[in-house]
Amino acid sequence: MTVTFKGAATAALLSLMGGTAFAAGHGEPLTGDLKIFLDTSNPAPRATMEEVISRFQEQHPDLNIETTIIDREAYKTQIRNFLTANSPDVATWYAANRMRPYVEAGLFEDVSDLWAEPEIAENLASTKGAMTIDDAQWGVPYTYYQWGVYYRKDIFDELGLSEPTTWEEEKANCQAILDSGRKCYTIGSKFLWTAGGWFDYMNLRTNGFDFHMQLANGEVAWTDDRVRQTFANWRELIDMGAFIDNHQTYSWQEALPFMVNGEATAYLMGNFAVPPLREAGLSDDQLDFYQFPAINPEVEMAEDAPTDTFHIPSNAENKDNARAFLRFVVSPEIQTYINGPDGLQQLPINAAASVPDDKFLQEGFTMLSENSTGGVAQFFDRDVPAEMAATAMEGLQEFMVFPDNLDDILNRLEQARQRIY
């Protein structure tokens, strides 16, 4: 579907509607055209982006803006075609390896000049690594959300446990939980990506962000001793019996009742797990959140925070206008709106933006903006090429169920790495 915003009539209408101009643009009002393609087809993201574009139009009443909204799944199959022919000026996509094919094909514009501007360089620093390939930046982020350990604070209080910051504390807590007759962690690995989340954190904490991304990029063998150390650390929990039984038969949603019923005390998951936990009856007094603890004190803390992005196609006809729009969407005011209670209810990227008044979003923002100096990863199946991710996640789930199969698993993954990359 295409929605078109045109000229002074739109600005007048916005004024009558009480629209507010944000001081997020640079220079004089723009003229000419701007063609935007969005994959934000679900109702809330769609309404959010339409409002953002309306506010940009208000600042630039003589700019002709044409917006095309494409179903998210259809967008994924169409993006290469429309980047090649009939290209828009701005397009939504995702960070890190999900943008790599289009960078390497020369279909995304290098926007390192924007990242050199102080307002962007200083306030978006947490995600610069996720937007960087070959020492250049290829887009800007507009929203992300944290991963971490969501846990039953009431059970921790009952057992006299505090939030762990080290691996030894994590394991000691887990043993106390097991001794109480509960499992430490719920997980549903029927759909394999949840095992990918555990691997991400085990590897980021064991070997650090740079190594993790080298592995994701196919530059490190899966049989490397450093990878084996990641699995050795992970196996400590598996051998303790830390995870719920038969987790390979549950989806991530089907694993939630174990935490709600108190049979397990924690869930390594993205912030999207909070609403269903609340809906199931857990109060914010019962629920809390902590950063996955340090394992190797020599590596900086890095996090998974999947990030949605805007890009300028290389074939765009109106790149100056597109750059102005990218500056606008990463400004503090617009970041506050996009991620606020009337928007996506996620986390703003801009460190100067306001965070929604939500306990978990506040904690996640502090963690990502202040306590994640090691970098921000995009999650296993975004950082790793699709074919490799599918093969690897099968192996990760198998390891959680049959840890003695590790040698066979790593040999298979190494053969796949050599073939796929």
Which CATH number goes with the domain that contains 197? 3.40.190.10
In a domain, 369, yes or no: no
**Cα–Cα distance for residue pair 38/54, rounded to 1 Å:** 14
Q: What is the pTM of this model?
A: 0.82
Nearest Cα to Cα of residue 87 among 35, 50, 33 = 35
In a domain, 96, yes or no: yes
> What residues form DSSP beta bridges with 152?
287
Pair (261, 396) in one structural domain: yes
Cβ(149)–Cβ(289) under 8 Å?
yes
Pair (247, 214) in one structural domain: yes
Pair (171, 50) in one structural domain: no
In a domain, 361, yes or no: no
In a domain, 363, yes or no: no
What is the number of domains present in the chain? 2
221: domain range? 147-304+377-420
When pLDDT is averaged across residues 44-55 and rounded to a whole number, the result is 95
In a domain, 362, yes or no: no
Pair (118, 190) in one structural domain: no
Eight-class DSSP state of 164? -
- What is the tens place of the pLDDT at every residue in 194-245? 999 999 999 999 999 999 999 999 999 999 999 999 999 999 999 999 999 9
Per-residue pLDDT band at 27 (split at 50, 70, 90): low
Task: Report the 10 Å Cβ neighbour count for 257.
Answer: 13
In the predicted model, is pLDDT for residue 13 greater than 80? Answer: no
- What is the tens place of the pLDDT at every residue in 244-275? 999 999 999 999 999 999 999 999 999 989 99
Pair (67, 44) in one structural domain: yes
The pair of structure tokens assigned to 1 is 């579907």
Pair (188, 230) in one structural domain: yes
- What is the tens place of the pLDDT at every residue in 99-125? 988 999 999 999 999 999 999 999 999
**Cα–Cα distance for residue pair 175/32, rounded to 1 Å:** 65
Pair (288, 340) in one structural domain: no
Backbone angles phi, psi at 284, to 5 degrees: -70, -15
Pair (386, 346) in one structural domain: no
Eight-class DSSP state of 108? B
In the predicted model, is pLDDT for residue 413 greater than 80? Answer: yes
When pLDDT is averaged across residues 129-144 and rounded to a whole number, the result is 94
Pair (201, 310) in one structural domain: no
- What is the tens place of the pLDDT at every residue in 320-373? 999 999 999 999 999 999 999 888 989 999 999 999 999 999 999 899 888 888
Q: Find the farthest-apart pair of alpha carbons in the chain and give their distance in angstroms, rounded.
A: 69
Pair (95, 17) in one structural domain: yes
In a domain, 249, yes or no: yes
* pLDDT for the residue 28: 83
Cβ(381)–Cβ(393) under 8 Å?
yes
Cβ(148)–Cβ(292) under 8 Å?
yes
Q: Which residue has the higher pLDDT, 42 or 293?
A: 293
In a domain, 59, yes or no: yes
- What is the residue type of 235? R
In a domain, 366, yes or no: no
Pair (234, 90) in one structural domain: no
Pair (110, 26) in one structural domain: yes
Nearest Cα to Cα of residue 98 among 420, 391, 392, 380 = 380
